[in-house]
Amino acid sequence: MCCNISKSFNDAICSMADNGYFGSNHYALKCNPKKRCFDKVSEKEVLNLFKKLCPFEDNVTFQDIVSALPSYHKIMSKVDHYETYVQVQKNIQNLDLLLLEFEPILDYNKSLYYNSRLIPGRLRDDLQLAINNDIFLGYYGIWKYENKMFIPVNRNNICLLMGIEYCNPGVIYDNVYSQRHKLTRANSIPEKVTQYYSDKRLLDVYRKDYDYVNELIDSFILK
């Protein structure tokens, strides 16, 4: 920053800050309320604006100005989270529509239930046990449906998800997976529902930063 800070210099910086200008180490940014983002501003534009606001300060450099402006680094992570929030919110799946699409698939799978004595570890019985426990074929892998959620099935959890207390999980998994084409197809619904919950968690985590930046941008609309 320049050695002699005058009132006119401070007034010019305050005016720029009030109009959404921020400084970083080697560049400046300006809040764009219409596009709801922060755009980089050229050195020439910054110097020209400062000269209009403070015409009698001849020795002020671009670095002096960006160093005096509010620090963009202090809000950078919040802005990143804001931008991510906006994109995720725009593209998040509609859970109700997905579950509505899944209803006839679930009903069809229920019609395939077979509750006679089934022995875990036998090829045909393991497939029926999987069907009875609402295990579906997704776009990628096999999934257990439960409480409006899909759980990816693997060797570590298959016995638990199928309600089998004593079994060889490797054998059970291999038996079911080798016959996965005989499971009820849920298409890409398991992946989409899982993505919904992942996106929902992210929105919950980033909501505070989204609100902060949203209010910050709004504060520059009438200026």
Average pLDDT on 57-68 reads 89
Average pLDDT on 83-103 reads 97
CA end-to-end span of the chain: 26
Nearest to 92 by CA among 210, 196, 207: 196
Residue type, 121: G
Check residue 70 and report its DSSP letter: P
Q: How far apart are CA 90 and CA 168, in angstroms?
A: 44
Average pLDDT on 47-54 reads 92
Helix, coil or strand: residue 43: helix
pLDDT in tens, 163-203: 998 889 999 999 999 999 999 999 999 999 999 999 999 99
Q: How far apart are CA 79 and CA 141, in angstroms?
A: 36
What confidence score (pLDDT) does residue 117 get? 87
The pTM is what? 0.84
Give the pLDDT band (50/70/90) at residue 6: confident
Average pLDDT on 126-152 reads 97
What confidence score (pLDDT) does residue 7 get? 85
Query: Of all helices (H) and strands (E), which one includes residue 42?
Result: none
Residue type, 130: A
